[in-house]
Each structure stands twice: as C-alpha cells, then as structure tokens.
Amino acid sequence: MIHLLLSIIFSVLLLINFRLHPRFGINTFQTIIFNYPVCILTGLLFLPENQHLNLDLSETSTILAMLLGVGFVITFMLSGISTQRIGMATTSLANNMSLVVPVIFSLVILKTSTSFDAFNYLGLVLAVIAVALSTFKKDEGGNQNKQQTADWLLPIAVFTMYGITNTTFNYLNAKYVTAAGTTIPFTLTILVGSVLIGGVVLIIRMIQGKEKLEAKSLLAAIPLGIPNFLSFYYLLKALDAYQNNGAFVLPIYNIGVIVGSALVAFIFFQEKFTLLNKIGLLLAVIAIGLISYQGLF
C-alpha cells in the first residue's frame, strides 16, 4: 500500500508544481522541456541491474516509443496550462478520468473484455459527464467570453490527450514489453523521444527570439522531473505488489489523485468550486467505482 500512496503523492506534487510556477515567475514551457532529462536520470537510478536502456533504432518498438514521447510533451504542456488557468482539481479530474479512453479502446477495438456490464457502461457515461461538469465555469455576470470558453476547453484537451497517450502506451506495452518485463527501459525510451522533440522545439523558438533560457526555470525542472518519474515508478511497484491487478490498483490511484488534488487546491490555493463542479468531482469518484467495481470487490 505504501507504493500506491507514494504514487498518489507524487502525482499530486506534479500539479502543485504547475500551480506554483506563475507565483515564482517560472517559464512552464522551459521547465517541462528540461524535466524530461531529469526524468531519465531519475529513471536510470531506479533501473534494475539486469536491465538497460536500449536505443536500437532498427526496432519498431523503439521508433514507436520515441514517437509516443512527442505525445507526452504535448499532453504535459496542456496539463501545465490547464492547471494554471482552470485549477488543480479540474485538471486532475480530467487527467485521471481519461482512463475511459483506454477502457473503450480495449472494449471496442481490442475486444479484450466480455465481462463489462450495465454498471460499467454507466460509469463510462458518468465519467464524461463528470469532466464536463467539473470544467464548467462562469464569469461574475453569468456569461462566458471567448477566453473563458478557450480555457474551458483545456481540461477537455487534457482528458483527450491523456486518454490517447495512455491508450497508446498500454497497447505498445502489451505488444512489445510486458512479456520481456522491461517496462521501465521502454518508458525511458519514450522519454528520450520527449527530450529530442522538446529540444528541437526549444532551439527553434530560441532562434526565432521567442525564448531565452532562464536559470530559475531550468532549476524548476528538478522538482518537476523527479516526481514525474516517481509517480509512474511507484504505480508500477504498486501493481507488482498486487499481482498486476490493475482493476483494483488503478481505481484507488485515480480516486486518490482526484481527491488529494481537490483538497490541496481548496486548502492551500483557495480554488473555488461551484455546485456543478462539486457534483462533477463526486460523479468522478462514483464513475471510477462503477467502471472498476469488479476488481474492487
């Protein structure tokens, strides 16, 4: 259980990082770009002795993993912007409810489960409603302007991109990695792809005069990159501890991150929740329970 708790704590720390960036004048773009080398260095420290990072470009899995790294960068950028503009609680909910996407992919495309029942499908529907309700914001006059509408779409984009990247990761992990038991080296390969695409984008923006390296933004990559990798690492350890019972571990993890982020947002950042937002958070917890109740019970 300690591994599961650590994974939840490190996941919440990620959002806290993003929430604090504006307060300290941190360039979130640069911090995200440089967080990936920190992730790789952290991952190498936790890499099992009998495994190693293998960048064989002749292997299809290597190329696909590095391409997935591009999606990781885009998703993390969206998560950072959404946390700053919409808030920790809503972004966390959109992130964790994205489990709906790989579930639907498994059911419809891979046809990996025949045990889904009416309660599970109700959970999927409630999950989508929960994201919509939790993201709904109004200005003081009760009307939404164009900027607010654009901001409202940010959690939807987070939900979609996390769903796509998680689905792709799960698919590639099952196809190329699980049998070999090399999930961490595979993850490091994805991060190499993130470093490469992030570096290219940063260099282009610097040449265009849109970016200038800032020391404090580079230093901020350390407290972002370490929990970024550790949240994933300890989630894997939790899955190992429970015999890879994702139906049990993942619902607890997702609920823990959603509730933990909401509490931190309310207590430390005074984020305000409307009645609809509160209903959305409650529906999210119920939805996760319905989607995975067979594993929980």
- Summarised one tens digit per residue, pLDDT across range 19-55 is 999 999 999 999 999 999 999 999 999 998 888 888 8
Check residue 147 and give its pLDDT: 59
Helix axes 28-45, 221-241, angle to 10 degrees: 50
Q: How far apart are CA 61 and CA 78, in angstroms?
A: 26
Model pLDDT, residue 132: 84
Return the amino acid letter for 121: Y
- In angstroms, the CA 113 to CA 42 distance is 35
State the pLDDT at residue 192: 95
- Please tell me the predicted confidence (pLDDT) of residue 164: 92
At 289 the pLDDT is 86
CA distances to 94, 129, 293 from 123, in Å: 15, 10, 10
Residue 153: both structure tokens together? 């779409």
Q: What is the model's pLDDT at position 150?
A: 66
Sign of the CA dihedral with 14 first, then 15, 20, and 26 last: positive
Positions in the chain short of pLDDT 50: 140, 142
- CA dihedral sign of residues 60, 63, 68, 72: positive
Quote the pLDDT of residue 64.
Answer: 93
User: What are the pLDDT digits (tens) for 210-244?
Assistant: 989 999 999 999 999 999 999 999 998 888 887 76
Give the number of domains in the chain: 1
Domain interval for residue 261:
2-296
Nearest-angstrom CA–CA distance, 30 and 133: 32
Other residues' Cβ atoms within 10 Å of the Cβ of residue 58:
6
d(CA 75, CA 230): 18
Rounded-to-integer distance, Cα 14 and Cα 18, Å:
7
Q: Name residue, tokens 């099992």.
A: 48
Do 229 and 43 form a contact (C-beta atoms < 8 A)? yes
